[in-house]
Structure 1
Amino acid sequence: MSKQIRFNAFEMNCVGHQSSGLWRHPRDRSWQYKDISYWTDLAQLLEQGLFDGIFIADVIGYYDVYGGNVDTAVREASQIPVNDPLQLAAPIAMATQHLGIGITISTTYEHPYTFARRLSTADHLTGGRIGWNIVTSYLDSGARNVGNHELLEHDARYERAEEYMEVLYKLLEGSWEPDAVVRDRERGVFADPQKVHAIRHHGKFWQVPGVHMSEPSPQRTPLLFQAGSSGAGVRFAARNAESVFVNSHTLPGLKSYVSTLRQQVAAEGRDPQGVLVYALITIIVDETDEKAQAKWREYQQYISPEGALALISGWSGQDFSAVERHQPIEKDTAGGIASLVNTFAPQQENWSVQDLAEFGSIGGLGKVFIGSVATVADQLQYWVNETDVDGFNLAYVVAHETFADVISWLVPELQRRGAYRTAYPPGKTLREKLFGQGPHLPGSHPAQRYRDPAQYADQPADEEVKA
């Protein structure tokens, strides 16, 4: 029996997302991102295809590295305009019964106390189908526009994120005991105040002395996603994440990442197979290889290399407008360009900036699979078997055509091979559907240490204690 493959849809509350310029395609719907019907239609399509969920990315700020300004990003719709992701959770949940809803929120720009309430609210309104993609943000423009002089250094952002998680765990897991809400009409007691605890958190970055404002939601702590690939990011994921997203254009690179992550998860005392890993890819599939290649060539007519360079400049921190488009980039060149070339095409000796722009115009930083149902199914199964990845985070080229093609062509073929499920598993919450266990974080997760009410009850409410 082949290992079953999992799919998430990789989306963003913006135009285009990972495929620059494709909003101009006559069949594309991404410009409708601001309409609820765009999201409810997509959610119902994904549920028909038995996807684990829809994963909604986000950025705080805009891409202004290319050319030193935001003009190109605005003109080409390079992830701007972009709307808030969390507000999509309720309409998606109302249109579906099973689909998970992963929302990206930054620990750098959200206060943990107010965010905890927003997170609990979303988990209540979705019946426990919400997930949180934990990010620390990477755009200087975001930092400047919330009043900071510059973006906090990379590892320092993860240090803040660790304390952020501690505050969240205390609020979501420890502040309200499981039986705090009694709803006793006879006594006129809705919740027992003896079972609702001030968390008394006094740390390096946050002071949160009081109680959580929301009663416990179906999952208490929504399912935890994370997408860090740096050393600090992998360590953070190994401690906290239940599901991890990774970008890798090469099979050896993906295999190495998955192996390293699972080793670190085990070192944290957690089940290394209990963390699901999804690789970012884009699939262009049709009945035959020839038809799929023809579809790819059609898409190429609409790409925006300059829009792609606006994104790539933001991702790498290097202004690609300052480099001659057709100048070869040597693999041993220092800086962000060489790093990206190594990521995209490690076997390619020389690439130009134009090559990089055209390559990244479809699928962004993810690998692109093009072919017939048999060809793509073979490739996906091979990657899963060779790398121990659990599934794929699918980006689209044309909304919603790319996902419709995967569901009509590829899903039935994988099901025929026994490599894709034929029905959703039991359970109401996202955590139950993904792991087949209970709705709450398992006892091996570090959040469990904050569940004991005794740790909150021994001190006066105003006493300063170290977190």
Structure 2
Amino acid sequence: MAKEILLNAFNMNCIGHINHGLWTHPRDTSTQYKTLDYWTDLARLLERGLFDGLFIADIVGTYDVYGQSLEVTLKESIQLPVNDPLLLVSAMAAVTKHLGFGLTANLTYEAPYLFARRLSTLDHLSNGRVGWNIVTGYLDSAARAMGLAQQPEHDRRYDQADEYLQVLYKLLEGSWADDAVVADREQRVYARPDKVRKVEHHGEFYKVEGYHLCEPSPQRTPVLFQAGSSPRGLAFAGQHAECVFISGQDQAATRAQVDKVRAAAKAAGRDPQALKVFMGITVIVAPTEEQARAKHAEYLRYASAEAGVAHFASSTGIDFSRYALDEPIGFAKGNAIQSATRQLQESAWTRRRLLEQHALGGRYVTLVGNPEQVAKQLISWIDETGLDGFNLTRTVTPESYEDFIDLVVPELQRRGRYKTAYRHGSLRQKLFDGAQALLPADHPGAAYRHPTPAPTGALHHA
């Protein structure tokens, strides 16, 4: 049976996300990102298109590497200003029933005890439709803003992330038993003291003693997303991630990356096919190929290649503005995104080539064509690489999502490659057909689940 394509809308609580400069397009509404209507309208639109989720990126810090300043970043609004992604969920969940929400939060700057409460709260309010995109950050500007001299070393960030997840599992999975809440009015017992236990964690990075502040939410632990293609990042994904986000430029390299992700899961003792792998992609579609090419040309006139390169500069830690247009860019191992710097190392890049690559403001694979052409290309990427789905970037907002929903979704459905209705249940159940709402038994987080029967013991009052 042909694989059904999974689809997230890729967005951010800001003006410029991936394809920079297009906020200047007269039909773009991204400057309205500060309003609830902007987000609730988007949520309704995506649910009409049967999108699996809205994947909301986030960044802590600012892109100050290019030109050693914020000049281009501020002029083109390169993910600055940027608002909190988690605060959007309640409003969007209220106007939808099925759409999932993948939320990015940087664990380096989030205390696990309080972050666990935020996750449980959102999982309750959305009736189990929340996922967490686990990031450790890569910007020195964020570290300085948070009182550190610089970012922790790359692999050490993952060491800290491993322990962070242990703390979260203990809180989300192990503090409250499934049957802790009885809400017995006659006996005046809301929660049974013998079914709630204290979490005690004394590790290298975290020391936590306390009870999880929330009763169990529908999923307990949200669906876990992660992006990281370094050896250490892949090991982390294999251990913890349920959905992995990768960046690909061609099918052969993407196939190799997907295989590495699945091999990492197998090495961690998990089912490698249980992971869902998504790739970022841009689609420009119109009823005819000629119209799609014209729309692409129109978008190019508003996009900012320089803004895209400025964004990429912070991803690599290299100030590309120092190089002449055709001067080879020197590679030096840094502490930023290793997959980004590896791209520079593996090919002879110049600033001119980077500007050409970022013609649409970003460097994701861009599909341009009529609905049949786009659908065939999307299916080819899935079948040839082993991908499970895509994070669809925005270009002109909300036009690019509307075009995809009205033109591409029906074509994919006609070919039997996209759902015609939502499945019931939580986000985890929708993504993993037939799954339970909770983490699967072979996931390391399940080992922290509150035992049944739970040990007796009083819940001490603060």
**TM-score bin (small chain):** over 0.9
Amino acid at match of 1:124: H
Deviation string 1:9-61 (CA, Å, 9 cap, x unpaired) is 00000002011111000000111111111111111111111111000000000
Q: Is the 8 A contact 2:428 2:437 kept in 1?
A: yes
Q: Is the 8 A contact 1:281 1:363 kept in 2?
A: no
In structure 1, runs of 5+ residues without a counterpart are 463-467
**1:196-211 alignment to 2 at 5 Å?**
196-211=196-211
Q: Is the 8 A contact 2:177 2:454 kept in 1?
A: no
Q: Is the 8 A contact 1:323 1:353 kept in 2?
A: yes
**1:49-448 alignment to 2 at 5 Å?**
49-324=49-324, 326-329=325-328, 334-335=331-332, 343=343, 352-362=350-360, 364-427=362-425, 429-436=426-433, 437-448=435-446
CA distance in 2, matches of 1:264, 1:51: 28
Q: Is the 8 A contact 1:65 1:319 kept in 2?
A: yes
Deviation string 1:258-294 (CA, Å, 9 cap, x unpaired) is 1111112122221111111011110011122221111
Deviation string 1:276-315 (CA, Å, 9 cap, x unpaired) is 1011110011122221111110011111222112201111
CA distance in 1, matches of 2:66, 2:277: 32
Label 1:422 to 1:201 Cα distance change in 2 as closer, same or farther (>3 A): same
Q: Is the 8 A contact 1:36 1:91 kept in 2?
A: yes
Deviation string 1:190-212 (CA, Å, 9 cap, x unpaired) is 11111111111111111101110
Secondary structure of the residue aligned to 2:78 is coil
Secondary structure of the residue aligned to 2:362 is coil
Q: Is the 8 A contact 1:112 1:167 kept in 2?
A: yes
CA distance in 2, matches of 1:342, 1:179: 49
* Stretch deviating more after TM superposition (206-215 or 160-169): 206-215
Amino acid at match of 1:424: Y
Q: Is the 8 A contact 2:176 2:450 kept in 1?
A: no
Deviation at 1:99, TM superposition (A): 0.3
Amino acid at match of 2:318: Q
Deviation string 1:167-197 (CA, Å, 9 cap, x unpaired) is 0000000000111111111111111111111
CA distance in 1, matches of 2:369, 2:297: 12
Amino acid at match of 2:309: L
Amino acid at match of 2:61: G
TM-score, reference length from structure 2: 0.94
Deviation string 1:288-347 (CA, Å, 9 cap, x unpaired) is 2221111110011111222112201111100011111x21537xx53489986984998x
Label 1:168 to 1:340 Cα distance change in 2 as closer, same or farther (>3 A): closer
CA distance in 2, matches of 1:418, 1:211: 47
Secondary structure of the residue aligned to 1:200 is strand
Q: Is the 8 A contact 2:131 2:224 kept in 1?
A: yes
Paired residue for 1:465? Answer: none
Amino acid at match of 1:402: S
Paired residue for 2:46? Answer: 46
In structure 2, runs of 5+ residues without a counterpart are none
Deviation at 1:393, TM superposition (A): 0.5
Q: Is the 8 A contact 2:308 2:361 kept in 1?
A: no
Deviation at 1:460, TM superposition (A): 12
* Stretch deviating more after TM superposition (206-215 or 262-271): 262-271
Secondary structure of the residue aligned to 1:11 is strand
TM-score, reference length from structure 1: 0.93
* Stretch deviating more after TM superposition (152-161 or 177-186): 177-186
Deviation string 1:58-103 (CA, Å, 9 cap, x unpaired) is 0000100011122221111000000000001111101111000010
Deviation string 1:127-176 (CA, Å, 9 cap, x unpaired) is 11011000001111111001001110110000000000000000000000
Secondary structure of the residue aligned to 1:301 is helix
Secondary structure of the residue aligned to 1:74 is helix
Label 1:70 to 1:458 Cα distance change in 2 as closer, same or farther (>3 A): farther
Label 1:340 to 1:105 Cα distance change in 2 as closer, same or farther (>3 A): closer
Label 1:358 to 1:25 Cα distance change in 2 as closer, same or farther (>3 A): farther
Q: Is the 8 A contact 2:255 2:386 kept in 1?
A: yes
Label 1:56 to 1:366 Cα distance change in 2 as closer, same or farther (>3 A): same
* Stretch deviating more after TM superposition (96-105 or 179-188): 179-188
Q: Over aligned residues, Cα RMSD in angstroms?
A: 2.3
